[in-house]
Amino acid sequence: MSAYLSIDDVGMTFASAQGANFVALRDIDLKIAAGEFVALIGHSGCGKSTLLNIIAGLLRASKGGVLLQGKEVNDPGPDRAVVFQNHSLLPWLSVYDNVKLAVDKVHGKTKSAKERDDWTRHNLALVGMDQALTKRPNEISGGMKQRVGIARALAMEPKVLLLDEPFGALDALTRATLQDTVMELHAKLNNTVIMITHDVDEAVLLSDRVVMMTNGPAATIGEILDVKLPRPRNRLELVTDAEYGRYRQAILEFLYARHRAPAHAA
């Protein structure tokens, strides 16, 4: 049986203006099942965003390719919604209109005006933003902006949700709250998620598998950790959980002992 999302032998070489080619990624093979939550972790510059952008169809791989339900990914599409670290809301539109715009675009032909309005409100309610519909992006906090970004992505009913360090710019407390929101949404909607993170605890807490990448140039998958902690997961209980500690240790060991950041490499 073929995988839901299949990343086959992907390599990425960037041509530079000086004529020298830069090999960012090589030999990336990854099969992801429907409903799986996968974290991508690795040092800065190893190619995580490049890989995510290839899956999103925003970049074309130089080698290999990506299949979603057996269909080749060549362009961006609403079946693969992306949430970036820096909220990409349109500043002149309200919270409601930022989500509604995407809803109209994706569901304009399939849902009635009333259904699209309901669907916009429903998705904003899912992330707890239904009380701020008329606010503009500059009137809400960073965490709230990311919530709206997630609502907008979910409203597109993507087959795969791609998150590129969505909480990277947030303080630890807001980050924890949003991680809980994402966990609840995943439990409720069972969507397939690929999330880039630098945060070891975030990776273990949220994921079914943690994909650890080696350093670039020519970065690839170094190791994959299966996180078998039962769900629902509770961050407070996990702090003292021995198995959680072992997963955490395995990632730290990979990142800081075996694949140290290039600047610190011997």
Ligand X SMILES: Nc1ncnc2c1ncn2[C@@H]1O[C@H](COP(=O)(O)OP(=O)(O)OP(=O)(O)O)[C@@H](O)[C@H]1O
Which residues sit at the interface with ligand X, rule CB under 6 A? 14, 22, 24, 42, 44-50, 216
Cα 158 to Cα 193: distance, rounded to the nearest angstrom: 10
Task: Report which residue type is found at 47.
Answer: G
In this structure, are strands 63-68 and 5-15 parallel, antiparallel, or unpaired?
Answer: antiparallel
The region of 47-55, 71-79, 151-159, 248-256 touching Mg ion under the rule CB under 5 A is 47-55
Per DSSP, the three-state class of 163 is strand
Which residues does residue 209 pair with via DSSP β-bridges, in sequence order? 38, 226
Cβ of residue 13: shortest distance to Mg ion, in angstroms?
18
The partner in contact with residue 24, picked from ligand X, Mg ion, none with C-beta cut-offs of 5 to 8 angstroms by kind, is ligand X
The least CB distance from residue 215 to ligand X, in Å, is 9
- Residue among 50 and 191 whose Cβ is closer to ligand X: 50
Strand 80-83 and strand 160-164: the pairing is parallel
| The entry of Mg ion, ligand X, none that residue 14 binds, CB within 5 to 8 Å by partner kind | ligand X
- Choose the one of ligand X, Mg ion, none that binds residue 64, judging by a C-beta under 5 to 8 angstroms depending on kind: none
Q: Minimum Å distance from CB 150 to Mg ion?
A: 18
Least Å distance, CB 102 to Mg ion, is 23
49 binds Mg ion (CB under 5 A): yes
Distance in Å, CB of 218 to ligand X, minimum: 10
Q: Smaller CB distance to ligand X: residue 175 or 233?
A: 175
| Cis amide leading into 217 (omega within 30) | yes
Could you tell me where the DSSP H helices lie in the chain?
Answer: 48-56, 95-107, 113-126, 142-155, 172-189, 200-206, 235-238, 242-253
Q: Select the binding partner of residue 256 from Mg ion, ligand X, none (C-beta < 5 to 8 A, by kind).
A: none
CB atoms within 10 A of CB 45: 16
Asked if 96 and 124 touch (Cβ cutoff 8 Å), the reply is yes
Question: Binds 22, which of Mg ion, ligand X, none (CB < 5 to 8 A, cut-off by type)?
Answer: ligand X
Nearer to ligand X, 45 or 142 (CB): 45
Structure-block tokens of residue 124: 């904003």
* 3 state SS of 74: coil
Residue 84 contacts which entry, Mg ion, ligand X, none (Cβ below 5-8 A, type-dependent): none
Which residues fall within 8 angstroms of residue 143, CB to CB, at 6 or more apart? 170, 174, 175, 177, 178
Give contact residues for Mg ion (rule: CB under 5 A).
49
